[in-house]
Amino acid sequence: MNTELQAVDPFELTETQKMIRDTVRDFARETLAPRAQELDRKGDFPMQNFRDMAAMGLTGIPVPEAYGGAGADTLSFILAMEEIAKACGSTALTLAAHTSLGTMPIVQFGSEEQKRKYVPPNASGEVIGSYGLTEPQAGSDSGATRTAATRVSGGWRVQGTKMFMTNASVAGLFVITAVTNKDAPKHERISAFILERSFPGISIAKKEDKLGCRASDTCIVNFDDVFVPESNLLGQEGHGFSYFMQILDGGRIGIGAMALGLAEGGFERCVEYSKTRSAFGRPIGAHQAIAFKIADMAVQIQAARHLLYHAARLKDAGRPYKREASMAKLYASEMAMRVLREAIQVLGGYGYMTEYHIERMYRDAKLCEIGEGTSEIQRIVISRDLLGKL
C-alpha cells in the first residue's frame, strides 16, 4: 500500500517537475537520510550534503540558465525542498536560505553586472549565500533596522549587528539591509547591499545553539565599519525594505514546503509503525483510535500540499501571490507541528526516542512557525489583504 500522499491528476506535474521530484527523492533517501541523525546530534554544518546538492545542480534550481542555474520554476524548487526536508530538516533549511534569501534578491533586483558577478558562483554552490535582516530589536518589525550605512567616497560604511543569519559562518556572500537615510519615512530609510566575506570588518560573534535544525548554521554577525563599494548597493537606494518583503513572500513558500516534507517524513514512519506494531492481538493501525489519527494526518498533509503548490504556481504565472504564500506557510507550518505531535503519540515511548527520527522532525518543524515571518505575522498579512488597514 502506498503511504506517500502524492496526488496524480490534481497537480498535473510536468515531466520535468516529476523528474526533479523523483531524482531528489532518491537522493534524499539514499544520501541525506542516513546522515541526518548524526548531523543533528553533533550540530555540524551539513557541508557534504551541500556539496552533493551542488553537484546535482540543486543549489540553483530557480536561477535562470543565463546566470548558471537550472532555469526551473518555483514549483520545481518546492518539490525538491519537500523531498529534502523528509530526510533532513537542517539540510532543507540550508538550501532554502542559500537559494531564496542568499541568491534570489540579486537575481530579482541586482544590476546586470551584479548578476553576472555574484549569481553563478551561488547557483553552482561554489559560494554559499546568507541573508541579514533580523536584528536584536528588529524581528517581526523589520522596519526597525538600526544597522546603518553611511555614504563615503566611493561607497558606504556599514556598522551594526544582524541576528539569526542562516549559513553565516560558512557563507562567502551576504545580502543585508541597512538604514541609509534615517530621516526618510520608515519603509524608505532602508537599502540593501551585497557584501563579500573578504570585506574587512565582518565577524561572526556567535553561533547559536538551537532546539531544532541543529546542523543548520545560525549566527550573530557584526559589521564593524565595513566598506562596501557603491557598485554593491542592491537595486535602488531606499528600496531595501520593499525588496526584502517581496523576497520573503517567495521564501514563505519554501519554508512551507520544508514543513510539508517534515510532516510527510514523520507520517510515513508513523504509518509503517502502525502496520507492524501489535497491541491487544492486532496491529495498532487496526484500532480506530490510531486509524483515525492516521486519516486526520493524511487530510492535513494533502490540504497543505494544495495550498503550497497553488501559491507556487501563482508565482510562476506572474500573478499576485502574497496572500496565498502566507496562507500556505501558515497552514503548512502549524499542520506539521500537529501531525508530528500526533505521530509521536502513535509511537508512544518509541516516538520520544531519537531512534525513530520523529522527535527530530518535530523539533525541526518548530522553526517553520517562526522563520520567514511568525504565524502571527502571517495572520496579519492575510487579514490586511482581506480587510485593508481598518
Tell me the catalytic residues: 372
CA distance 285 to 283: 5
Q: What is the DSSP string of 194-235?
A: EEETTSTTEEEEEEPP-SS-TTS-EEEEEEEEEEEEGGGEES
The three cell numbers of residue 161 are 549587528
Could you tell me the end-to-end alpha-carbon distance of the chain, in angstroms, rounded to an integer? 51
Length of the chain counted residue by residue? 390
Q: Is 340 left (phi over 0), alpha (psi -120 to 50) or beta?
A: alpha
Q: Is 238 left (phi over 0), alpha (psi -120 to 50) or beta?
A: left
**Rg of the chain's alpha carbons, rounded to an integer?**
21
Question: 227, 134, 236, 221: which is closest to 191 by C-alpha?
Answer: 236
Question: 142, 77, 82: which is closest to 104 by C-alpha?
Answer: 77
Residue given cell 555540524 in the structure block: 44
CA distance 157 to 254: 33
CA distance 99 to 298: 29
Burial tier of 321 (Cβ tally within 10 Å: 0-12, 13-18, 19+): buried
Cα→Cα distances 179→112, 145, 183, Å: 24, 7, 10
Amino acid (1-letter code) at residue 348: G
26 three-state secondary structure: helix
Asked if 6 and 47 touch (Cβ cutoff 8 Å), the reply is no
CA distance 68 to 57: 9
